[in-house]
Amino acid sequence: MQTAHRFGAVAVRAMSTFTKPPVAVIGMLKNGTRVEVVRPNETHRQALVSFAKRPGTMADTMKRPEEAHAVADDYLWNARSPKHDALVAVVGSDVVGVTEIDPDVHEMEPPKDESFLQACGMQPSEVCVAQTLVSPTWRNLGVGSVLKLGQAEAARNLGYRAVATCGGVQQIAPRVGGTMQAGEFGGWTLVPTDTQPKGKNS
């Protein structure tokens, strides 16, 4: 089935010859479950749609089934884009977490905090922005930490030195070698793309 993406068919066709290095990060969750973080492809479409329909993920107010399909389209588009990326955390055949990587913040989001980035030795152009979402039933088990490690690898492949997240789960950043914005609840976190895990997943 072919769908019309919000960026248009021409943009999708232009990406068809672009190939990214694979990303595959495997982790063991606190409950002993194996999770794998990979770049989504068409085989993940239905699992992404199911993820988007779950309460507590994407939009709780989502009423029309086609909205969940549009969310899946966006993740698959980002996964193929030369300037963006997307990853999914998979347990068995289920998507239990997702992340998107963008060159900059989306509309209506706060801009990158340049003073925070510079204090960390980074320029805004060296830092991409990521958003992460984990299914409520899989939170606090380590899915977010494994997704963060996947983000760092994907961002490094795109040429970035670090991944910034606004309002992210701040406990995760230090565990994967990152930094939190001082005195800012819900502020920015920064994770270098050469990061390695420092302790337990979260």
Q: How far is CA 51 from the centre of its chain?
A: 14
Please give the pLDDT value at position 18.
66
pLDDT digits (tens, 9 = 90+) for 23-81: 999 999 999 999 999 999 999 999 999 998 886 655 544 456 678 888 899 999 999 99
Task: Note the pTM of the prediction, 2 decimals.
Answer: 0.82
- Tally of helices (H runs) and strands (E runs) in the chain: 6, 8
3-state secondary structure 119-143: HCCCCHHHEEEEEEEECHHHCCCCH
Domain boundaries, the chain: 9-192
pLDDT digits (tens, 9 = 90+) for 139-171: 999 999 999 999 999 999 999 999 988 766 556
- The CATH number, out of the four listed (3.40.630.30, 3.40.50.410, 1.10.1740.110, 2.40.50.140), of the domain defined by the range 9-192: 3.40.630.30
